[in-house]
Structure 1
Amino acid sequence: MSSDPWGRVDETGTVYVRTADGEQVVGSWQAGSPEEALAYFERKYEGLVVEIGLLEKRVKTTDLSSKDAMTAIGHLREQVDAHHAVGDLAALRVRLDKLVELVDARREERRAQRAKQSDEARHAKEALVAEAEELAGSDQWRAAGERLRALVDTWKGLPRLDRKSDDELWHRFSHARSAFSKRRKQHFAHLDAQREEARKTKERLVAEAEGLSKSTDWGVTAARYRDLMSEWKAAGRAQREHEEDLWNRFRGAQDVFFAARGSVFAERDAEQTENLKLKEELAGEAEKLLPITDLKAARAAFRALNERWEAVGHVPRDARPKVEGRMHTVERALQEAEETEWRRTNPEARARAAGLTGQLQAAVDKLKGQIEQARAQGNDSRAQKLERELEGRQALLDQALKGLQEFGG
């Protein structure tokens, strides 16, 4: 019979293992010596030790699922419980029990981790939904569209939640995207309609502008072009493929008209500049008539100058007031001289002036006599009052005498 601390072989070749519950039959050995029998079953024990050690390592260092780990533990436990090995089987059971505890702990850890990830994913998806719903009302079509596409990519990278929660959030997310897409489609459809209307309006404006390009009615046509430009700006933009061509035609028609007008105006400006020189010379000749000493000769000379003036034609608008003012000054001087001459030679006016002078002279003489009489009577207050009245009558008499002198005395 052969034995060791954990097992023995009896004389019949039966191999036993010692456990806390007593000896358990391991098996029968007939092929060799008892030592060889123990060594064989001890090697089987070492094999179990190695397998348990490997499983412990896998559980601790790999992502082995709890289910697979428990299956492997069960398989090893069956081998240990079958008592087909010689060694400290109780120690192996302890290790397997600890391994079960480790697997359970890992399972709980993973469950908590999955719960945390799920919670984070829920918050992340709720945030995506909130942003998408806000973007659904945006009018920043390009930026909002690009952002919504980025949100979809972010959504795809997040873990799925439970089916109900995930479906509800996705429904809100998808609805927000659809609402934005619908609004954007309506906006651009409306914009297309506006641009088509703008195209029709601008084609009408171009046709009118091209029709006016050969006009020589400079003022009226220029004003109409200004109106057409206002209508053009108010019409809005046409489609990109039409806008530039329409504008080139519209602007080109105006350029033809304004170039022609500019050429005509340049010729007219040159002519008016020459006219200005002639009128300045005529104004200078007219000014030599001042001061007027011979009214008849001055009148005839000014009439001849004025006829030449009228024949000259227009001058530049900004120079017109000054040069015409010079002629008007001479003309007013002639008019004043004629009025003075008329007053001097008018018999009725002279008679009225002489009569008024006589009346005033008589009144002055009378007042002087009354003043002398009052002083002789010692009535100084009356004399002073009459002197004040005399001063007023004398002033009127002096003025009347001056006017009478204008009529030749």
Structure 2
Amino acid sequence: MSSEPWGRVDETGTVYVRTADGEKVVGSWQAGSPGEALAYFERKYEGLVVEIGLLERRVKTTDLSAKDAMTAIGHLREQVDEGHAVGDLAALGRRLDELVAAVESRREERKAARARQSEEARAAKEALVAEAEELSLSEQWRSAGERLRALVDTWKGLPRLDRKTDDELWHRFSQARSAFSKRRKSHFAALDAQREETRRRKEKLIAEAESLSDSRDWGPTAARYRELMREWKAAGRAQRDAEEDLWTRFRAAQDVFFQARSEAFVERDAEQRDNLARKEELAAEAEKLLPVTDLRAARSALRSINERWEAIGHVPREARAGIEGRLHAVERAVAEAEEAEWRRTNPEARARAEGLTGQLQDAVDRLREQVERARAAGNAAKAQKLEQELAGRQALLDQALKGLQEFGG
């Protein structure tokens, strides 16, 4: 009989393993020595040790599912329980028990992780729904549309939730996208209608602009073109493919008119510059009448100059005030000479001037006599007062005498 710490072989070749509950038959061996029998069943035990070790590593280091792990543990436990090996089977059982506990712990961890992942996914999807619902009210059509498409891609990358929750959130998300799409479609339909109306309004403006292009009524027509431009800008924009063509036609009609006006103004400016040269000659001729020595001749010459002046026509706007000012200065000088001549030859005015002068002379003579009497009487204060009054009357007399001289002395 052969014996080891964990088993023995009896005389009949029966192999036993020792356990806490006593010996158990693990098999029989007839082909060799008892030592070889024990070695064979010990190798089977070592095989179980290796398999359990491999399973322990898979549980710790891989994503082996709890279901597959428990199946493998059950298979190994059957082999251990059947006892067809010699070794510390109880130790193997304890390792399998620890492995079961590890798998259960890992199952709970994975369950908790899935719960956390599900909660995170639910929160993320709720955030996507909230943003989509906010974007559904936006009028930033391009940016909001691009963002909604990005949200769809983000949604597809998130884990699914339980069917009821996932379907409810997706329904809200989809409704928000549909509402935005409907509003955007309605907006652009209205915009298209508005742009079509703008196109029709601009066609009318073009028709009027074209009808005015041959006008030679420069001022009113240019003013109307400015009004048409204001109306054009206020009308807004037509469809993109039509706007450029409309503007080209509108601008072309204006260009015809303004080109013609420009050519006419060039011709007018040349004529006005010539008019200015002629009026400068007349102004110089008028200025030779100053100072006025022969009023009748000056009036006759000025009349002739004015007739020729009026026949010449317009001069450049910027020169108008200067050239007309020169002629007006001569006219004022002749008018002043006429006024002076009238005063000199007016009998009534001369008589009034002589009367006033006589009255002032009498007053001055009386005051001189009064001053002399006051001084003779030794009344210095009265004399001083009378002298002041005399000085005032004398000043008036001197002024009256000067005026009288204008009538010929």
Same fold (TM over 0.5): yes
Alignment partners' CA distance in 2, 1:32 and 1:363: 185
Alignment partners' CA distance in 2, 1:91 and 1:140: 71
Instruction: Please say which of residues 274-283 and 168-177 is displaced more in the overlay.
Output: 168-177
Displacement after TM superposition at 1:103 (Å): 1.2
Alignment partners' CA distance in 2, 1:51 and 1:89: 14
Instruction: Please say which of residues 287-296 and 385-394 is displaced more in the overlay.
Output: 385-394
Displacement after TM superposition at 1:268 (Å): 0.2
Displacement after TM superposition at 1:286 (Å): 0.9
Equivalent in the alignment of 1:341: 341
Displacement after TM superposition at 1:208 (Å): 1.0
Identical pairs, percent: 80
SS of equivalent residue, structure 1 residue 408: coil
TM-score normalised by length of structure 1: 0.91
Alignment partners' CA distance in 2, 1:247 and 1:132: 40
Equivalent in the alignment of 1:307: 307
Equivalent in the alignment of 2:329: 329
SS of equivalent residue, structure 2 residue 272: helix
Alignment partners' CA distance in 2, 1:351 and 1:97: 154
Alignment partners' CA distance in 1, 2:104 and 2:295: 136
Equivalent in the alignment of 2:85: 85
SS of equivalent residue, structure 2 residue 188: helix
SS of equivalent residue, structure 2 residue 193: helix
Equivalent in the alignment of 1:139: 139
Alignment partners' CA distance in 2, 1:142 and 1:363: 104
Letter in 1 for 2:310: E
Give matches, 1:202-281, under 5 Å.
202-281=202-281
Alignment partners' CA distance in 1, 2:65 and 2:220: 92
Instruction: Please say which of residues 228-237 and 12-21 is displaced more in the overlay.
Output: 12-21
Equivalent in the alignment of 2:360: 360
Alignment partners' CA distance in 1, 2:267 and 2:61: 100
Letter in 1 for 2:232: W
Displacement after TM superposition at 1:39 (Å): 5.2
Query: Size of the alignment, in residue pairs?
Result: 409
Alignment partners' CA distance in 1, 2:385 and 2:9: 179
Displacement after TM superposition at 1:310 (Å): 1.4
Gaps of 5+ in 2: none
SS of equivalent residue, structure 1 residue 223: helix
Alignment partners' CA distance in 1, 2:379 and 2:83: 175
Displacement after TM superposition at 1:306 (Å): 1.6
Alignment partners' CA distance in 2, 1:378 and 1:317: 76
SS of equivalent residue, structure 1 residue 331: helix
Letter in 2 for 1:135: L
Displacement after TM superposition at 1:372 (Å): 3.3
SS of equivalent residue, structure 1 residue 143: helix
Displacement after TM superposition at 1:11 (Å): 4.4
SS of equivalent residue, structure 1 residue 17: strand
Instruction: Please say which of residues 202-211 and 54-63 is displaced more in the overlay.
Output: 54-63
Instruction: Please say which of residues 315-324 and 92-101 is displaced more in the overlay.
Output: 92-101
Give matches, 1:172-187, under 5 Å.
172-187=172-187
Alignment partners' CA distance in 1, 2:358 and 2:33: 189
Instruction: Please say which of residues 280-289 and 159-168 is displaced more in the overlay.
Output: 159-168
SS of equivalent residue, structure 1 residue 23: strand
C-alpha deviations, 1:273-299, integer Å up to 9, x for none? Answer: 111111111111111111111111111
Equivalent in the alignment of 1:404: 404
Displacement after TM superposition at 1:4 (Å): 4.0
Does 2:148 correspond to 1:111? no
Alignment partners' CA distance in 1, 2:387 and 2:39: 174
Alignment partners' CA distance in 2, 1:40 and 1:67: 33
Letter in 2 for 1:345: T
Alignment partners' CA distance in 1, 2:18 and 2:385: 170
Displacement after TM superposition at 1:318 (Å): 0.8
Instruction: Please say which of residues 5-14 and 28-37 is displaced more in the overlay.
Output: 28-37
Instruction: Please say which of residues 4-13 and 198-207 is displaced more in the overlay.
Output: 4-13
Alignment partners' CA distance in 2, 1:362 and 1:300: 45
Alignment partners' CA distance in 1, 2:54 and 2:12: 36
Alignment partners' CA distance in 2, 1:156 and 1:50: 44
Equivalent in the alignment of 1:102: 102
Instruction: Please say which of residues 307-316 and 325-334 is displaced more in the overlay.
Output: 307-316
Letter in 2 for 1:363: A
Instruction: Please say which of residues 376-385 and 359-368 is displaced more in the overlay.
Output: 376-385
Alignment partners' CA distance in 1, 2:209 and 2:172: 54
Letter in 2 for 1:311: A
C-alpha deviations, 1:43-91, integer Å up to 9, x for none? Answer: 4434433332332232222211001110111122122212233333222
Equivalent in the alignment of 2:387: 387
Alignment partners' CA distance in 2, 1:362 and 1:104: 148
SS of equivalent residue, structure 1 residue 75: helix
C-alpha deviations, 1:239-260, integer Å up to 9, x for none? Answer: 1011111111111111111000
C-alpha deviations, 1:293-338, integer Å up to 9, x for none? Answer: 1111111111222222112111001100000000000000000001
SS of equivalent residue, structure 1 residue 101: helix
Cα RMSD after superposing both structures: 2.5
Gaps of 5+ in 1: none
Alignment partners' CA distance in 2, 1:186 and 1:206: 30
Instruction: Please say which of residues 55-64 and 292-301 is displaced more in the overlay.
Output: 55-64
Alignment partners' CA distance in 1, 2:31 and 2:389: 181
